[in-house]
Structure 1
Amino acid sequence: MKKSLRFYFALFFAKCTARILKLIGRKGTSMPGSWAIILCPDFLGRIPRPKTVVMVAGTNGKTTVCNLTEDILTDNHVEYVCNRFGANVNTGIASALIADSTFFGNPKHDLAVFEFDERSAEKILSYIQPDYFVCTNLCRDALDRNANVEFIADLLNKNLNDSATLILNGDDLITSHLKPQNPRVYFGIDKLPRDDAARPNLVRDITACPQCGAPLSYRFLRYNHIGRAHCPNCDYGSPNIDYEAKTVDQTAMRFTLLAPQGEETYRLLGKNITDLYNELTAVTLLKTLGLSQKQIASSLEKTELTRTRYDIQSASDKEIVLCLAKGQSPIASSRVFEFIAEQNIPCAVVLMNYDRHDAAHSSENTAWLYEADYEFLNTDCVRELITVGSRCYDYQVRALLAGIPQEDIRCAEKPENTAALVNFKNVKRVYILHAVFTRAAAEQLRDCLIERAKKETANEN
């Protein structure tokens, strides 16, 4: 699309809006992009795009993948534009392009790395197409807006162009079969010792071959439908992997990667299997963009996972952990539940992963609670389960159905009443599981628990 008078007016108004917001200290906002699209609905199609555009989507992990990728690019002095501090929908991408544009709307940088919400595919991909499209995984999430996984996959298939290079999770049968005619690169994790003891999830998003309907045969099933499988009756199945993590050493915090160039070693940033998937996704993307193993490995030695996803702090002899467990996302929550059980540390688990934003505007759909694996929390190391918020009794019912003893469950309708329910004598660690919109309340609870732990220790001495 050509630039129009309407486009220039929208661009000028948006740039003025961004300047005013900066002056009053509000930098991370999508308001400039919102105004640009209100004033010029096809603004994204008219603003010139950078030479190379990378878009990262997926149910879980896309924010972490983008953050890791951007941190490593920065460490290697590669300039780019991104929407890290804005929304991952069309208005956020528009705001990022506006901030990176000259007075006449031309891009200042040649590379763009955009996280985008796959539900917004039609609003974004209708106007700006990626050169590289990364998909971390596709699984059920927020039923009231995403419907089912097939619906999201269909949105991507209909709106992605035929020339984009796809960087896909080869361990995800749904993701790995997106746009089958496009050029593609696969990443994955080979079978690990932990997979032999993997406990199956309550739900699986694909169980039968979509080509012939036969039950799929799994070489291993890691979680949900993530693993390696094939159809015994036809050629449908997991692809050959281009970038495959082979061995994982959680003591040395290293993993080996079999890449097209040979075997490579990288620092392991986290112990959760999802941390490895996120790191592997970023490494594969960066290698595809042309960075060397030496550049990536060197940067990873200086990189940490964002503390908004996992943040652990000590309080006397206790540890307080803030951990993101997305509300209305059964697979994301189940991954956190299983990770807690794997640590085998006497702990209390505080569930603050209710959707405060949803509660303020509609009625939270509780169906997802019965797809999340609360059974993972029915283990000896979880000494206390504290449910929080207006839906706390719904969470209590789900926990009881998972077999968790009633005497181990406590409920707090108001977040400010939660701290008093934690019994430090029973536990060494407190996990506070929060959603995106309950982070502030989780931080307040953490601060209260840290103060309380210090006082109790002082009184004992």
Structure 2
Amino acid sequence: MRMFFTILICKILRFLGGLLGRGSSLPGEIALKLDPNILRKLKLPKYVIAVTGSNGKTSTVEMISQILRKNGLKVAYNKEGSNQIEGVTTFLLSDSTLGGRIKSDIVLIESDERFARHTFKHFIPTHYVITNLYRDQLTRNGHPEWVYDIIGQSVHDGSQLILNADDPLVSCFGFGRENVIYFGVDRFAGSTDQNTSVYNDGKYCPRCKAPMEYEYYHYNHIGKYNCPNCGLHRCDTRFSVTDVNLSDGYIVLDGKYRVTLALKSIYNVYNILAAYSVARLVGIDGEKIAQDISSYVLKNGRVITFTLGGHEGTLLTSKHENSISYDQSLRVARAYPGDTTVMIVVDRISRKYFTSETSWLWDIDFELLEHDNIKKIVLAGAYASDLAERFSYTGIDPAIITVNKSVSGALEDLKQNTVGYLYAITCFSDKDKIIAGIQVEKPEEE
């Protein structure tokens, strides 16, 4: 009766929250108070797939769901993005019968990297994807190796680990384990022999701290590495991107399956590869996966096409306090083949806590915007002066840079003064301030 009552209350609260446009966490929070062991009591399906890491969780989970649903499977996942234990509890109980049986064929979980340990002490995923570990939200997460230790507490025997082989810290999760699958990207035209980012987090081995050697880099510390001291190296991959052509907008998976890219970013390539790896392990044909994911436009609002004063543009949602996320957005703007205007907005550091800490701006490779196609740069928001100070240390011509602490004012100016295509780059906390001033193009419903 306790389980019945707890699930019923959660369902009611979730329904009421849905009417108000809220309620992804609170129903689960109350359910856990009513029965702290409710997650242990659920009858889960054959596949319970979890995804965690610094970046790419939401996009990867959405693409996995897209593939699985296209192949006739019913999927339960936290599509609202509420990825701590309360949000996970909400969507699981919402999908269960009053007797505690999950109704969907597959459970798919996006899990916050710091809180996965709390969720997976109640049940163990059958498949556990770890995407990457980067410098991310210093005030919350500290050093990536600290996050590695925290995620390690969520890894249990019985889960098949699906790891990014190109990230040396992530690959360490597979050390000493047998049930591990690796995915990675082969060398391509955009790979480099030397690290080209502002900093080098791959300089030393995460396992023994000796100097690391790289055969090539894809970006930052992601690439093919080897530690001569302890032997840590990029493991052989079961699933691979064997060809990348960002200019023409396609990749080839496992030498066979061509996928057209809706977003021409190496970041997006890794998300697609992780989703492909999971789908293959579940038993879906590679050609079918490629068809289902080709030209797929994410529905999670991380990439939005729009118009502003007759100018076409794309809003790229990067993570504040995460330099690699910003670097990838800057690379997309840099790669545009025509004249380009770039707007960067930092109006608020975080939605969750107050901080004016902006040292992370100095980790971002804004030097990428020193390129022939970049004709105008607009720095906007409350921290526009912090951005301007950082840009003063680049080689970018100050004449093309405009500073405006008003986001709405910057958008008004751009209605008349955008040069070419417009890329607006900001975080979740500031995205709505941009959306309020643009005309968003709605993605086609399936």
Same fold (TM over 0.5): yes
Q: Deviations over 1:68-121 (max 9, x none)?
A: 111111111111211112401111111111111111222112410111111112
**SS across alignment from 1:379:** coil
Aligned to 1:107: 102
Residues 1:220 and 2:216 aligned together: yes
Write the distance in 2 (CA, Å) between the matches of 1:198 and 1:248: 19
Q: Deviations over 1:182-230 (max 9, x none)?
A: 4111111111012148861112323112444331111101111000011
Write the distance in 2 (CA, Å) between the matches of 1:112 and 1:355: 34
> What's the offset of the Cα at 1:398?
0.8
Larger Rg: 1
Aligned to 1:454: none
> What's the offset of the Cα at 1:316?
7.8
Q: Flag the 1:354–1:112 CA change in 2: closer, same or farther, 3 A.
A: farther
Q: TM-score, normalised by structure 1?
A: 0.88
Confirm or deny: 8 A CA contact 1:86 1:96 kept in the other structure.
no
Q: Letter of the aligned partner of 2:315 in structure 1?
A: L
Aligned to 1:305: 298
> What's the offset of the Cα at 1:163?
2.2
**SS across alignment from 1:17:** helix
Write the distance in 1 (CA, Å) between the matches of 2:23 and 2:193: 43
Write the distance in 1 (CA, Å) between the matches of 2:7 and 2:68: 28
Aligned to 1:201: 197
Q: Letter of the aligned partner of 2:218 in structure 1?
A: R
Q: 266-275 vs 332-341, which deviates more?
A: 266-275
Aligned to 1:161: 156
Q: TM-score, normalised by structure 2?
A: 0.91
Residues 1:441 and 2:436 aligned together: no
Q: 161-170 vs 317-326, which deviates more?
A: 317-326
Q: Letter of the aligned partner of 2:364 in structure 1?
A: A
Aligned to 1:392: 384
Q: Percent identity?
A: 26
Aligned to 1:138: 133
Q: 273-282 vs 227-236, which deviates more?
A: 227-236
> What's the offset of the Cα at 1:62?
1.2
Q: Letter of the aligned partner of 1:350 in structure 2?
A: M
Q: 152-161 vs 398-407, which deviates more?
A: 398-407
Q: Flag the 1:429–1:263 CA change in 2: closer, same or farther, 3 A.
A: closer
Q: Letter of the aligned partner of 2:83 in structure 1?
A: N
Task: Map 1:183-332; keep pairs closer than 5 Å.
Answer: 183-196=179-192, 200-250=196-246, 253-258=249-254, 263-301=256-294, 303-306=296-299, 308-314=301-307, 318-332=311-325
Write the distance in 2 (CA, Å) between the matches of 1:109 and 1:316: 45
Confirm or deny: 8 A CA contact 1:327 1:354 kept in the other structure.
no
- The count of corresponding residues between Structure 1 and Structure 2 is 440
Q: Flag the 1:212–1:152 CA change in 2: closer, same or farther, 3 A.
A: closer
> What's the offset of the Cα at 1:250?
4.7
- Unaligned 5+ segments in structure 2 are 442-446
Task: Map 1:11-50; keep pairs closer than 5 Å.
Answer: 11-22=7-18, 24-26=19-21, 29-50=24-45
2:336 pairs with 333, 338, 343, which one? 343
> What's the offset of the Cα at 1:425?
5.1
1:78 pairs with 67, 73, 77, which one? 73
**SS across alignment from 1:194:** coil
Q: Flag the 1:249–1:362 CA change in 2: closer, same or farther, 3 A.
A: closer
Question: Comparing both structures, which one devotes a greater share of its residues to helix?
Answer: 1
> What's the offset of the Cα at 1:376?
1.2
Write the distance in 2 (CA, Å) between the matches of 1:384 and 1:45: 55
